[in-house]
Amino acid sequence: MSIKKHYIEFRNALSKGENQKAQEEFEKAYNEAFVVFQNKLANNEKFNVNDEEERFALITLTDNIIGYWTENMFDDGIAMAENLIELVDSPKLKEMFKGYSLGMSSGIDANTFIQKYVDLSKVDAEFPEFLCNFKEEIKELIS
């Protein structure tokens, strides 16, 4: 099964309240996405956001970063975000991972960060799966 299929199964199970199945499907998606991540790191390659599987790997890894964040596992989340900054070519996604890293570094909880710094009124045309549009207030975290 592909990362995309596992991820979609995860989201479907989550929406139905099937928490055990959701957890199992996310683990499968994450394990496969992490292999892609490790290969990109080892080979000094960038994620191809136009490749569906690689895009779903990024979506899964981003969800995992937010999971680390909500569990106050800041070091793990920051490390993953900062690695992904180097592994994507998209300036928009680079900024998103930088923003997430700044948020975790400042100790702000994920929900507060999203409410205060993410522009939820915009769905990004290129990356609708990601919370990658920030408000001007994000500049407060850069110091």
Does the structure show a pLDDT above 70 at 143? Answer: no
Domain count, the chain: 1
Please tell me whether residue 125 adopts helix, strand or coil conformation. Answer: coil
Is residue 7 within 8 A of residue 56, CB to CB? The reply is yes
pTM, two decimals, is: 0.93
Residues 18-66 have pLDDT tens digits of 999 999 999 999 999 999 999 999 999 999 999 999 999 999 999 999 9
Residues 76-133 have pLDDT tens digits of 999 999 999 999 999 999 999 999 999 999 999 999 999 999 999 988 889 999 999 9
